[in-house]
Amino acid sequence: MKLKAPERVTWTQSGFCPGCGHGIAFRLIAEVMEELGLSDKLLLTVDVACCSLAIECVKYDTIMCAHGRGVATAIGAKKVRPENPVCAYLGDGAAYSIGMAETIHTGLRNDNVVVITVNNSLYGMTGGQMAPTTLPGQKTTSSKYGKDPERCGMPFNIVDAYQGFKIGYLARGALCDVANINKAKSYIKKAFEKHMNGDGLCYVELLSACPTNLNMQPVKAMQRIKEEMVPYFPLGEFQDNTKEKKEEE
């Protein structure tokens, strides 16, 4: 097990809350970049809100985007610099609510970008409101008596939504224990490998803890991922396709 932090992770205070999954996710990305030799080349887009704090804690060329537009912005950058790895990093509110059109259409087009969506089942930065990923009965600041699926729908599942599309790679990991974190890293690594191979959209969702807004101890918040989130958001690899290369004209 490697303990030394990757060079591209800074030692300044990150801004993330204690026990937050974002720190783990970014460390995994940084490790993968180092292992694949892509640290010098990565272009990153981070959504507003908690994701945006990353701009100060990982050292890649980064765009801080409008809420829900990180995927669109990443596509713009990738088209201009097709040789660079380009990754959009966003939360579940960005991906599955305000940026849903971008999420669906990038799947439809099978754009050649990496998308990493951190799903913590609520809106973190704004103080813990209900999200499309909020679990039935889950109490949030905007679902005081628990989310009512009759009124608000069941948790949004990207694996179901992408079923009709053939994309490069689709996986879901959980940042809840060592085994799952290592598994999640392998998904991220595969996503970037396939991305560099030009296989199309490589999408990884990471289930993550938000102890602050769940009002839980960090360990408890991590246990909740496995106990309460995974039943709605199954883990694993769901799509793995190779893009047929067009013959050079």
| Contact call for residue 97 and another protein (CB under 8 A) | no
| Contact call for residue 73 and another protein (CB under 8 A) | yes
Vertex 122: Cα angle to 178 and 145 (nearest 5): 120
Q: Residues touching another protein: how many (CB under 8 A)? A: 35
Whose Cβ is closer to another protein: residue 72's or residue 131's?
A: 72
| Contact call for residue 65 and another protein (CB under 8 A) | yes
| Contact call for residue 102 and another protein (CB under 8 A) | yes
| Contact call for residue 17 and another protein (CB under 8 A) | no
Q: Which of 53, 72, 135, 171 binds another protein (CB under 8 A)?
A: 72
Stretch that binds another protein, among 70-78, 117-125, 185-193, 222-230 (CB under 8 A): 70-78
| Contact call for residue 195 and another protein (CB under 8 A) | no
Q: Which of 63, 125, 152, 216 binds another protein (CB under 8 A)?
A: 63
Question: Is the distance from CB of 115 to CB of 88 less than 8 angstroms?
Answer: yes
Rounded to whole angstroms, how far apart are CA atoms 44 and 58? 10
Q: Which of 28, 29, 42, 214 binds another protein (CB under 8 A)?
A: 42
| Contact call for residue 110 and another protein (CB under 8 A) | no
| Contact call for residue 16 and another protein (CB under 8 A) | no
Whose Cβ is closer to another protein: residue 107's or residue 128's?
A: 107
Q: Which of 27, 78, 189, 190 binds another protein (CB under 8 A)?
A: 78
| Contact call for residue 157 and another protein (CB under 8 A) | no
| Contact call for residue 222 and another protein (CB under 8 A) | no
The interface with another protein within residues 22-41 (CB under 8 A) comprises 39-41
Inter-CA distances, 143 with 4, 56, 189, Å: 42, 32, 37
Name the residues that contact another protein, by CB under 8 A. 7-8, 39-43, 45, 52, 55, 59-66, 68-69, 72-81, 84, 101-102, 104-105
